[in-house]
Structure 1
Amino acid sequence: MPFIEGFITAIPTANREAFLDHAKKVVHVFQDFGAGRIVDAWGDDVPRGETTDFHRAVEAKEDEAIGFGWIEYADRATRDAASEKMMSDSRMAGIGEMPFDGQRMIFGGFEPVVDRGEGGKAGYIEGFVGAVPTANKEKFIDHAEKAAPLFLSGGALRVVECWGADVPKGKVTDFYRSVKAADDETVIFSWVEWPDKATRAAGQEKLFAEMDAHMKDNPMPFDARRMIFGGFEIINDSRG
């Protein structure tokens, strides 16, 4: 089964080029470890929320942008082996320090439970993180399966919904705190790929109308008030 390593970071806005340079250098090392596609996206339309949001998730400062990214692996075993190799590979030291505060970066491993769409040249991402009652896993998958075609009909290229499988607790920040997850809840990490921001904007308008018309019998099986979301510009995609 494919496995996803998901990340959220707070990056000083002034460090955008340094972050991109660092990300491009890391790509080659991780690919040698068995990673597939690697994507880094820069916060562009990331709203503040009443209960939770991406900014609070990583304790972002006023001069920091939100980074959203992931690494796709063939399976969990490949990802686990890559994580172990990363700790001892001398090339990582040669890349230099991360151009952001690593203590506030949140990360975790996730299993895709819905992956729809042919993909393509994506330029923009809609990213989501939420907390779903663990007992509602099948309801969540069913909800996501029914919602995915609405995104695709609105111009999205791909819709991916992932279920937390190896999500660690952090000292400063973590995925659980980002969405105020309870002990009986599992963190989800999801994204929608769009060709560009304009397509996403037009697609959202159509999506909201479609959901009002067709999704009343498919309510969200989790607390949407604690879901965090935002729009991100892809600045690094190893797929080219």
Structure 2
Amino acid sequence: MSYIDGFVLAVPATNRQAYIDHATASVPLFKEFGATRMVETWGDDVPDGKVTDFRRAVKATDDEVVLFSWMEYPDKATRDAAMEKIMSDPRMAEMGAGMPFDGTRMIFAGFAPIVEAGAGGAMGYADGYLVPVPLANKDAYRALAEKAATVFQDHGATRVVECWGEGLPDGKTTDFKQAVQAQPHEAVVFSYVEWPSKEARQQGWGKVMADERMQPDGSDMPFDGKRMVYGGFTPILDA
């Protein structure tokens, strides 16, 4: 089964090209370490939330843009081996010295996919989500996510991935648990929906919301939607 490293970070808007250059330069190394795909997406439609949101997740300042990114590996063993190389390879240390963003506020962790739907393809836009889900509701959440993935694909999405993060590490400044105010009995889900373009996403969302399969059926939601973090992002790197 595949494995995903998820990232959320804040980058000064003026450093956009510097960040793209930095990320692009790192692709050969991560491919060498076993990654099969590296995606960086730039915040485009990232709303403020009443309880939580992406900007608060990484303590973004007014001059910064939130990035939602992920790295795909064929399995957890490959990812774990890659992490050891990342920590010890001097080339990574050299790259880390010139980061065009505040790495102390970047949040990252590994996640195991529980839903992978769609073949993907050329991605022109992505919706990103962080969701707090009680550990006891894992099966119920997966069932709901599988149903929603079918609806999204029926209305234009090319790929839907839902990843379960249990036992995530604590961060000194920020982390995934703080991002959604997760409780000790909750896991954090890192998920993304890929679209061929922003226009397809806008058209698709209207159809998704009107689809009767997405209407409440009277059962309780298996997570607290008030603490779900979400936003729309434009790809700046998909390698």
TM-score of Structure 1 vs Structure 2, range by shorter chain? over 0.9
What are the residue-to-residue correspondences of 1:181-220 with 2, within 5 Å?
181-211=182-212, 214-217=214-217, 220=221
Structure 2 segments unaligned to the other structure (5+ residues): none
* Secondary structure of the corresponding residue to residue 10 of structure 2: strand
Partner residue of 1:19? 19
RMSD, aligned CA? 1.2
**Contact 2:167–2:187 at 8 Å: present in 1 too?**
no
Partner residue of 1:229? 230
Cα offset for 1:193?
A: 0.2
Cα offset for 1:165?
A: 3.9
Partner residue of 1:66? 66
Partner residue of 2:82? 82
CA distance in 2, matches of 1:108, 1:210: 34
**Contact 2:34–2:79 at 8 Å: present in 1 too?**
yes
Partner residue of 1:3? 3
* Secondary structure of the corresponding residue to residue 211 of structure 2: helix
Q: If the length of structure 1 is used for normalisation, what is the TM-score?
A: 0.96
Letter paired with 2:210: A
Cα offset for 1:154?
A: 1.1
* Secondary structure of the corresponding residue to residue 119 of structure 1: coil
Between stretches 101-110 and 161-170, larger displacement belongs to: 161-170
Deviations 1:19-64 (A, max 9, x none): 0001001111011001111100000000000000000000000000
CA distance in 2, matches of 1:74, 1:100: 29
Cα offset for 1:221?
A: 0.7
Cα offset for 1:220?
A: 2.9
Partner residue of 2:175? 174
Size of the aligned set, in residue pairs, is 237
CA distance in 2, matches of 1:56, 1:115: 28
CA distance in 2, matches of 1:61, 1:10: 8
**Contact 1:107–1:167 at 8 Å: present in 2 too?**
no
Deviations 1:55-88 (A, max 9, x none): 0000000000000100001111111111110112
Partner residue of 2:117? 116
CA distance in 1, matches of 2:201, 2:77: 34
Deviations 1:167-199 (A, max 9, x none): 211010000000000000000000000011111
Identity of aligned residues (%): 53
**Contact 2:46–2:54 at 8 Å: present in 1 too?**
yes
CA distance in 1, matches of 2:2, 2:166: 12
Letter paired with 1:51: V
CA distance in 2, matches of 1:195, 1:101: 31
Structure 1 segments unaligned to the other structure (5+ residues): none
**Contact 2:42–2:236 at 8 Å: present in 1 too?**
yes
